[in-house]
Amino acid sequence: MADLHQLGVPPDAQEAGGHEVLRAFVVDGGLSVSLQRAFDDPATWGLLLADLARHAARIYALETDASQEEALERMREAFEAASLRPADLGAGDTIN
């Protein structure tokens, strides 16, 4: 069996429950995701992505020499570039 590294369930979800909507893994240098639509309005995914970026930028600020603002700006630039020229159009199966 392959070596699999998973994160734990956040403490508030552990305590109050909830619904997992996104799981992402890096596999052989590429992204592998499992997700469900989860929201009636697709704009909610935009809010979720912005919140994830802020959390990731905070981690970069804590663990590297980059500031939170610098990390967030690099993420924004990469997001915009990838939106204009997507490398992966999500051709995988939709399984739930």
The average pLDDT across 75-96 equals 76
DSSP for 63-89?
Answer: HSSS-HHHHHHHHHHHHHHHHHS-S--
As a whole number, the mean pLDDT across the chain is 91
Give residue 69's pLDDT band: very low, low, confident or very high (50, 70, 90): very high
pLDDT at 28 over 90: yes
Give residue 93's pLDDT band: very low, low, confident or very high (50, 70, 90): low
pLDDT at 66 over 90: yes
Q: Which domains are assigned to the chain?
A: 40-86 (3.30.2370.10)
In one-letter notation, the amino acid at residue 49 is L
